[in-house]
Structure 1
Amino acid sequence: MTSRSSPPEPHPDDGLLARVLSWISNLLLRRTELVLLCAAALALLALQYIRYLPLKSSVFDLLPPDDPLVATYKEVEEILTPTDFAAVLLTLEDPPASLAERERILIEAATRLERELDDPEIRGVSFRIGEGIEVPPELLLFYQLDPETLSRLREIAREVLSIFPPLQVPRGRALGEALPQAALADLSRVGKIDPGKLRAILGEAQREVEAARELVSRMGEIPRLEKLLHEAGVIITELLSRPPPKAQPLFSPDRTRLLVQIWPRRPSYTGVVYCRKITRTISAAVRRAELGKLGVRAGITGNYVAVAQGQALIAQDLSRTTWISAVGVFVVLIVSLGSVIAILATVLPLLVSAVLTVAWAKFSVGGFNLITVFLPALVLGLGVDYSLHLVSRVMEEIRKGEDLPAALAVAMRTKGSASLGAALTTALAFTSLVFARSLGLKEMGIIMALGIFFALGSALLIGPALLVAAYRASQGRFRPRGLGYERKLFRPYRLLLYNRWAVIALTILLTGAVAYQASRVEFEFVPGELSPTTEAQRVAQEAMRALGGEIAFNDDFLIFVRGSRMLREVTADLSSHPGVRSIRSVRDLLPTELLRGEAAFQEIPIASLDAFLSLLEENLREWEGRIAQARNLAVALARGELVAATMGAGEIAAAASKLADSLFRLADAMEAYSPRVPEFLPAVTSMRADYEIIRGFLERLQALPPEEELLRRLVEVLPGDLRAYYYTSEGAYVIHLGLDPQYLEGKKLDRFIAWLEEKGYRYFGFPEVRLRLRQYMQRDFAISTSLAGILILGVLLLNFRSLRAAVVAAMPLVVGYTWMLAGMKFLGIEFNFINISISPLLIGLGVDAGIHVAHRVLEEGPGQSAVARGAAASTMPVLGASLTTMVVFAALLWANTPGLRILGVCALLGLGFSLIASLLFVPAALVRVERPPGAR
């Protein structure tokens, strides 16, 4: 006959499981020392194996190894390496009023620091931009141009063009020689020569005279033109005498900050240990430099420092959350068990299972990644669940008068079966992740699929073995009874079950009411939620704000193009996109004036100006004679006009008349400037001297090779790291893009990537890595959640052999999951890289409490009093097990990493609502589900 304290009579097909559990009980009673010795040896071997545990801290460790982005990243690593540097931002704490004094103090501080950084692992230190770049001779001219000088030359060019645009220049040296004497003779013999030839001669002469008139009309601007050309000549003369440009310190515009860049010998992805070493080296150099005596504060940043500080904060998170979890778990265990030996029997299996899980993680997947780093703490929470239920049942049986061996046998038969069902459901939830494309989730599945059974095995073997050892050592006097809350909880559960329909209806209705809000939770994978905020990030942001475009610690996208023409076209195309915030390429190292195609100063009509000066030089000294010559020529043309008219050549006569009129007007225009000829003579001499300087300068510009050749020569002389930054080993130019923050996530990022692909550009971008990871994890989320749900329902059917009981046991999971999503929406929390793992985790954990409550209720019987008795007996073990797991996640609320804090909030929501549903809904529903035969 089955008593209240004994398990129900087993079904015939329960024989195998019952025999296995019975065999474990006998093993523990007969071979206690052997079990404990094997467990200790296994734990020590695992501890030895995990002395060095790698942490895969790259986001690429979350992608499938065969993803094309991983291969692309390996190809572009050499391009990213030049930006892989550490930096020290020097800031004046009390800046003096003088800018020169500010510069002096900062340079002295930087020089001190540079001396202290004499270390074998540091291959370069610089606080000047452009240091190490050897300017090719053909570009030296442009690098000597400062912005003010370049701007003034452009203004001079514009003014010269407004005075003297490109004109048709007379071919004759004398202004009056518009028509040769031979042409006049031909005109007198108009009837004897070809009329077409004569018309052509007259037309050409007409154009020459008009050009001369245009030049003469501009003689009033000679003083202004002389001044402009002289200023340009002085600027160019001074410019050509300048020495080659020097690298400039990386000052902020207000001269209160100076950035010192430091290049270690190996890249930051060498490993965390190397990054820590470099960070310690820089920190020690800063201390030795005693910058505080100069009134300078130093902030350390860069990839090396960010990695080291990030890992330090993660380690701090692990340490802090472990201690908080340990204290919280210990308090819960004291309240739940009330016995030191029982607490030890609960805690020691946790430690062993955690160590074995870490060893398995190293062996199976090479360590932990950004998503799986918290799994050891999770194993502690799961292990407590199994151990606490088993130890609590042992003490319950002892309170009923059984001795320890008999109590252990009962606990193993009852709680062993329930714990196995709970472990299978949790393991299946994580096993579904093995099929994920995302490597981060896949590794979580691999680790936890076996880690669950480490926790279950430790709970079934080590904890009971410790109780048996204590029992034997006390010669049978050790009888831990615990605190026993069953009697106090029985009456409240009787009241609850009287109102069971209200409990069932409220649970279903309220869950349905929040289902809409739960369905609105979206995926928002923000990079900042993957890692903690470090001091290095704060310093980097301060440096970028202070130095503007002079410094950048990362790029959002890299675009690869071949040929300078393509480089120019793609740069212009990218600049037109509203999402592009900044563009950097090797073209930035060439002067802006050159990149316009033909420089503005080169647009001065040098040939026309030369001809104008030559005509003035030739004619000014014989000005009056040239005027008379023009008039005489006009008179001769008038006679020729009369001859042509007499001969009936009307067209020739008209052309001659028009030319004569133009010559008279030219003579009149020249005569108007006769009084100013003495003034013009020295001005023309001065302009000729300045013109020769300008002509030589422009010839140097025109002699420059095409832009493609200039870029090639510039690439050849760049330092190795900088060359790799701008130019690949395959011969492609690299364009570095920075995007507007709005384009780094969501639909705008999707559209930008689609735009790049539509253009046919070859590119690589870290935002796309996050996008790809989001796509993988969204897919994995849907598949793993659906698969885990189906597998868990199947396990529950096998465990309970009743569809209705299985559905009731699974209901707390549905309630907890729905209310968790609704709570996330209410708090403004979306799924990210880290908290998306809560889905399989909650599916596994959320159903455990329901399984244990359902097992104990069904064990007692279907009647109302029996259900109340079973629920009261299971409440404290279920509450204690759930609270210990919740304490582990609650400890994450004090983590430095934002993503871990959000994970803690999500887990607390899901586990908390699942616990409430397990303790209230499951007993209420099972009264109706399992009725005795013949009951009404």
Structure 2
Amino acid sequence: MLRKIARVIVIYRHSLAVVTMFLLILSAYGITQLRFETDLSKQLPEDLEAVKSYFTLQNEFGGSGSALIYVKIKNNDNVVDIRDPKIIEAMYSLEQRLREKEYVTDTFSIADLMVQILGRLPKNMDEVKFVLNMLPPEARNGLISGDYSSTIIIVNLNREKNQKALVRVYNDIEREIERTNFPQGVEVVLTGDLGITYKILEMLQNDMNRTMAISGIIVVLILLYFYKSPIRMLVPLVPLIFGVVMTLGFMGLLGIPLDIATTTVGAMIIGMGIDYGVHVTNRYYEERGKGKSLEEAAEEAIAETGKALLGAALTTIAGFLALSISILPSLKRLSVSLVMGLGLAALNAVIVTPALAILEEEFREKVMKKKEIIAIGGGKSKISFIFSMLGKAIKRSPWTALLIALIISGVSLYGASKITTEVRLEKMIPTDLPEIQALSDIRSEFGGQDEVTILIKADDVRDPTLVRDILRFEREIKADSYINNVFETQSIADVVIQKYGYIPQDKEKISEAIEGSSLVSSDYSMTIIKLKGNFMGVTQSEFNRIMEYFERAIQRADFPPGVKVELAGESYLNYVLNDLVNEELGKISTIGTLIVVMVVFAIFRRPTVSIAMIMPMFLGALWTIGYMGLAGIPFSQTLAGVVSMIVGLGVDYGMHITHRFLEELNEGNKTPIITALESVGPGIFVGALTTAGGFLALLSAQLTAIHDFGRVLAVGIFASMFAAYLVTPAILQLEFGRKISKEVRE
């Protein structure tokens, strides 16, 4: 069947080239439709209770995140105290202009306190000190640092969370900061939800372009080294470029956004897709070296390599398809993108590569007057000699190879016990960025400005009994501040206490006090309690403990019957995402592995042969997880599907070796294990280098999650390759070695 298809591809290669060019033009348009996604809520299922609460919070209370403007004195003799009236005047001026923006719902700073108490801006330092001394210590410490070197402006936002709105709002606030006449020596940094999200978006865009460019350069250098010719190198490279362009184009046409997971697709397709073209190219030149014609060599390359390539592509795609069963939208999008990308890369490798190989030879012969045939996978190259020696060593002592694999697995099991998780977007940004450093300073100096919201639903939240219960709940939370990191709470109970000094029994009085408050819905069916503190700046385990505390506090709280109380907001979404990542990790890994195993057994239907193929993927995944634990790399939403991906990729190497072994065995070769390693070993090595090179390009990314993703996948590729070189030949030798020896003796 494959041979007939191969013949059709060779005969109609020019027509297929026209179809390919049409798809490229269509893909070029699709690339212009690509968009970036940074909204955390879009990484979670819409029907999740926490996501519903999050959107309820946004719709009813108009909140859509916040911005923190960090004002700090640098080492400068011009200004030495943040209480300087010139600084406060500049802050007030900035706030006044920001309040005119349609996306700003409110701002607050020490400048507002000055105007509220003095009725004007302070004229000297004594007036500033007077106002600050009137404040309770916790309120003063929440706005100004103990050494009077920094303060903050809190900007509450109400905006659409899409790429264009995010960029517009961020740039607009930055322009207003630049326009403000802060004294020389004062540093102003825009951070908080807005600043962090903008930086993630900016890094996503930069990282995609940078990683694709670097992975392309790595692949080109490796191909140049092995093929020794810039023209010959294009044979496997051009189909790959076509595959990447088509993948990104179809993502744009299908409306698949680029998020923290799918941004890596370009570099990954470059790394993985080149493997297909390399194997087809190597087999073509190997057949040409045997004296076959251009068309015969192309047909043989497609027909014979196509078997292993088809199996490898199917198992890899099967591993990636497992991501689609995830309830996390980001992993579903990654699954569709990778499956589509690999399918296109494999299709281009089979259709375009042979045509280019023929064209390259014709060009070299007619224009450059050269007829040499290169050898990467045959018995003429130095690298083939190394793999020939490896084959002889494993043939002599297969148990030694298995023992080495067992020792590595033991170390990896220890490393796997050290694995942790980390899903917070803030932790995926380099800590040396000004926005992150400012946020860290805010947490250490002001107790933190992270926010957790408690959403309360009732028939009427003005019920005096409910308001008292809210007040009691707040006080219990603040009493445990040493446990939960809360330094400030805000609710309608505080508004009522501020007006009357107590909670009245009269609902009308309560209604009068909270009228127009942003803490209550317009129909008085919902209200919120805002908890501020340092929640995101702690470790993931500490963060989980704090969120679990809030969940228990709500469960044991004594609210009136019929009142529904639940956690909401972005901080809580991070906690929910962490739980989902842990659940999805086991589910995706298990199902992905089972799918790949089923595909292998369905294709080859021989238990021992199938085991020889799939062992590299098991060991590659185990060794990679062990490396993550030993290197301190946590599982994130991006890495949740990494085991399934390594399983899908790792089986390819064992499949190529096994397929060539069986081919040589059926042809009567008395040393099939040596010939198999000698012939496909170099191709696997080149393919693994280019694949890992594509992944290692992700190390150039600024986002920590993408950086770790590349490092882990590169380790997974090398681990799977090494396992394939050790374990697959050893199992095949143990299974067929005695039979071959018996035939030789006879």
TM range (shorter): 0.7 to 0.9
* Structure 2 counterpart of 1:762: 565
**Counterpart AA for 1:466:** L
**Counterpart AA for 1:712:** S
Matched position secondary structure for 1:440? helix
* Structure 1 counterpart of 2:351: 461
CA distance in structure 2 between the partners assigned to 1:518 and 1:95 by the alignment: 49
What does residue range 178-257 of structure 1 map to in structure 2 within 5 Å? Answer: 252=145, 254-257=147-150
Q: Which runs of 5 or more residues in structure 1 are unaligned?
A: 1-18, 136-144, 152-246, 598-703, 718-722
* Structure 1 counterpart of 2:476: 573
Q: Deviations over 1:784-834 (max 9, x none)?
A: 322222222232233334221110111111221121122222223332222
CA distance in structure 2 between the partners assigned to 1:150 and 1:108 by the alignment: 20
Matched position secondary structure for 1:493? helix
Q: Higher relative contact order at CA 8 Å, sep ≥6: structure 1 or structure 2?
A: 1
What does residue range 474-873 of structure 1 map to in structure 2 within 5 Å? Answer: 481-484=373-376, 486-487=379-380, 488=382, 489-490=384-385, 491-514=388-411, 516-517=413-414, 519-528=416-425, 531-533=428-430, 534-546=433-445, 548=446, 553-560=449-456, 562=461, 563-577=466-480, 578-579=483-484, 581-586=486-491, 597=502, 711-716=510-515, 723-725=517-519, 729-737=523-531, 738=533, 741=538, 744-746=542-544, 749-750=547-548, 752-759=550-557, 762-765=565-568, 766-861=570-665, 865-873=671-679
CA 1:54/1:850 → structure 2, altered by over 3 Å: closer, same or farther? same
Instruction: Note the C-alpha offset of 1:77.
Output: 0.9
* Structure 1 counterpart of 2:167: 276
* Structure 1 counterpart of 2:120: none
**Counterpart AA for 2:389:** P
Query: 1:895 aligned to 2:693?
Result: no
CA 1:745/1:150 → structure 2, altered by over 3 Å: closer, same or farther? closer
**Counterpart AA for 2:528:** V
CA 1:250/1:473 → structure 2, altered by over 3 Å: closer, same or farther? same
Query: 1:378 aligned to 2:378?
Result: no
* Structure 1 counterpart of 2:35: 54
Instruction: Note the C-alpha offset of 1:456.
Output: 0.9
CA 1:308/1:815 → structure 2, altered by over 3 Å: closer, same or farther? same
**Counterpart AA for 1:783:** K
**Counterpart AA for 2:456:** F
Matched position secondary structure for 1:90? strand
| TM-score of the pair, normalised by structure 1 | 0.67
CA distance in structure 2 between the partners assigned to 1:542 and 1:519 by the alignment: 34
CA contact (8 A) 2:653 2:721 kept: yes
* Structure 2 counterpart of 1:72: 53
Match of 1:26 among 1, 4, 7: 7
Instruction: Note the C-alpha offset of 1:113.
Output: 4.7
Q: Which runs of 5 or more residues in structure 2 are unaligned?
A: 118-129
What does residue range 347-366 of structure 1 map to in structure 2 within 5 Å? Answer: 347-364=237-254, 366=256
CA contact (8 A) 2:196 2:426 kept: no
Matched position secondary structure for 2:70? strand
CA 1:352/1:418 → structure 2, altered by over 3 Å: closer, same or farther? same
Matched position secondary structure for 1:373? helix
CA 1:823/1:150 → structure 2, altered by over 3 Å: closer, same or farther? closer
CA contact (8 A) 1:525 1:745 kept: no
CA 1:479/1:813 → structure 2, altered by over 3 Å: closer, same or farther? farther
Matched position secondary structure for 1:832? coil
830-839 vs 794-803, which deviates more? 794-803
CA contact (8 A) 1:715 1:727 kept: no
Q: Deviations over 1:432-490 (max 9, x none)?
A: 23222222223333333333211111111122222233445567777573343634334
Instruction: Note the C-alpha offset of 1:724.
Output: 2.3
Q: Deviations over 1:587-635 (max 9, x none)?
A: 68659898875xxxxxxxxxxxxxxxxxxxxxxxxxxxxxxxxxxxxxx
Query: 1:908 aligned to 2:714?
Result: yes
Q: Deviations over 1:717-758 (max 9, x none)?
A: 5xxxxx324656534332112466477544564454244234
Instruction: Note the C-alpha offset of 1:580.
Output: 5.2
* Structure 1 counterpart of 2:680: 874
CA 1:147/1:43 → structure 2, altered by over 3 Å: closer, same or farther? closer
805-814 vs 103-112, which deviates more? 103-112
CA distance in structure 2 between the partners assigned to 1:877 and 1:865 by the alignment: 19
Instruction: Note the C-alpha offset of 1:848.
Output: 0.9
Instruction: Note the C-alpha offset of 1:582.
Output: 2.9
Matched position secondary structure for 1:374? helix
| TM-score of the pair, normalised by structure 2 | 0.83
Instruction: Note the C-alpha offset of 1:148.
Output: 7.5
CA 1:502/1:431 → structure 2, altered by over 3 Å: closer, same or farther? same
CA distance in structure 1 between the partners assigned to 2:6 and 2:589 by the alignment: 36
Matched position secondary structure for 2:262? coil
Q: Deviations over 1:888-915 (max 9, x none)?
A: 2212223222222222232232221111
CA contact (8 A) 1:310 1:532 kept: yes
Instruction: Note the C-alpha offset of 1:51.
Output: 0.5
CA distance in structure 2 between the partners assigned to 1:150 and 1:785 by the alignment: 55
CA contact (8 A) 2:82 2:148 kept: no
CA contact (8 A) 2:278 2:687 kept: yes
CA distance in structure 2 between the partners assigned to 1:424 and 1:85 by the alignment: 46
Instruction: Note the C-alpha offset of 1:846.
Output: 0.9
743-752 vs 414-423, which deviates more? 743-752
* Structure 2 counterpart of 1:416: 306
Instruction: Note the C-alpha offset of 1:537.
Output: 3.0
Instruction: Note the C-alpha offset of 1:492.
Output: 1.4
Instruction: Note the C-alpha offset of 1:411.
Output: 0.7
What does residue range 233-382 of structure 1 map to in structure 2 within 5 Å? Answer: 252=145, 254-261=147-154, 266-267=158-159, 269-289=160-180, 291=182, 294-364=184-254, 366-382=256-272
CA contact (8 A) 2:324 2:331 kept: yes
Instruction: Note the C-alpha offset of 1:126.
Output: 6.2
Matched position secondary structure for 2:191? strand
Matched position secondary structure for 1:712? helix
Question: Identity of aligned pairs, percent?
Answer: 19
CA contact (8 A) 1:525 1:770 kept: no
* Structure 2 counterpart of 1:659: none
Instruction: Note the C-alpha offset of 1:53.
Output: 1.2
CA 1:317/1:910 → structure 2, altered by over 3 Å: closer, same or farther? same
**Counterpart AA for 1:103:** D
CA distance in structure 2 between the partners assigned to 1:315 and 1:772 by the alignment: 27
CA 1:371/1:80 → structure 2, altered by over 3 Å: closer, same or farther? farther
**Counterpart AA for 1:582:** F
What does residue range 113-128 of structure 1 map to in structure 2 within 5 Å? Answer: 113=94, 127-128=109-110
CA distance in structure 1 between the partners assigned to 2:131 and 2:176 by the alignment: 36
Instruction: Note the C-alpha offset of 1:82.
Output: 4.6
Q: Deviations over 1:407-447 (max 9, x none)?
A: 11111111101000001101111222322222222333333
CA 1:48/1:478 → structure 2, altered by over 3 Å: closer, same or farther? farther
CA distance in structure 2 between the partners assigned to 1:733 and 1:930 by the alignment: 73
Count how many residue pairs are aligned between Structure 1 and Structure 2.
696
